[in-house]
């Protein structure tokens, strides 16, 4: 379930690339890299939690 959070943020990043009008070109271009970085950070956090819980389960089973 936690893997869906970065997917949603990447969806928001892709949706923010299209400007609302001629006045919004710069803002939408600035939002896409920021949202992509947030998605990357979320993906890394989920990966770290997965490794931590897997290691904890492995250590408990020994």
10-37 tens-digit pLDDT? 777 776 666 666 666 666 667 777 777 8
pLDDT at res. 40: 82
d(C-alpha 13, C-alpha 29), whole Å = 10
C-alpha angle 12/18/24, rounded to 5°?
Answer: 110
d(C-alpha 31, C-alpha 17), whole Å = 8
Q: Give the global pTM.
A: 0.63
DSSP H or E run through 56: helix 25-61
pLDDT band at 58 (very low <50, low <70, confident <90, very high): very high
């Amino acid at each position: 379930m936690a893997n869906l959070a970065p997917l949603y943020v990447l969806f928001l990043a892709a949706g923010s690339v299209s400007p609302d009008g001629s006045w919004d070109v710069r803002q939408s271009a600035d939002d896409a890299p920021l949202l992509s970085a947030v998605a990357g950070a979320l993906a890394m956090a989920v990966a770290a939690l997965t490794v931590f819980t897997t290691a904890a389960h492995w250590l408990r089973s020994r």
